[in-house]
Amino acid sequence: MTDTILNYLTNSSAITYIVLALLSIYLIITIWIFLYRYFSIVALIRNEEKSLESLTSREATFSPLSALNKCANSTNSKELLYACEINIIKEASSGISWLAIISSTSPFIGLFGTVVGILESFAKFSTHSKVAFSVIAPAISEALVATAAGIFVAIFAYTFHQILVRKVYELNTYIKAQSQILIAKG
The CB-side HSE value for 182 (13 A sphere, CA atoms) comes to: 29
User: Mind listing the pLDDT tens digit for each residue in 73-100?
Assistant: 767 788 888 888 999 999 999 999 999 9
Q: What is the mean pLDDT of residues 93-118?
A: 93
pLDDT of residue 139: 75
User: Mind listing the pLDDT tens digit for each residue in 164-178?
Assistant: 999 999 999 999 998
Closest by CA to 86, choosing from 185, 184, 181, 179, is 179
How many separate domains does the chain show?
A: 1
Q: What is the mean pLDDT of residues 95-124?
A: 91
Please determine, for residue 59, whether its predicted confidence score (pLDDT) is greater than 80: no
pTM: 0.84
Q: What is the mean pLDDT of residues 13-29?
A: 89
Domain that holds residue 77: 2-185
Q: Judge contact between 161 and 36, C-beta under 8 A.
A: no
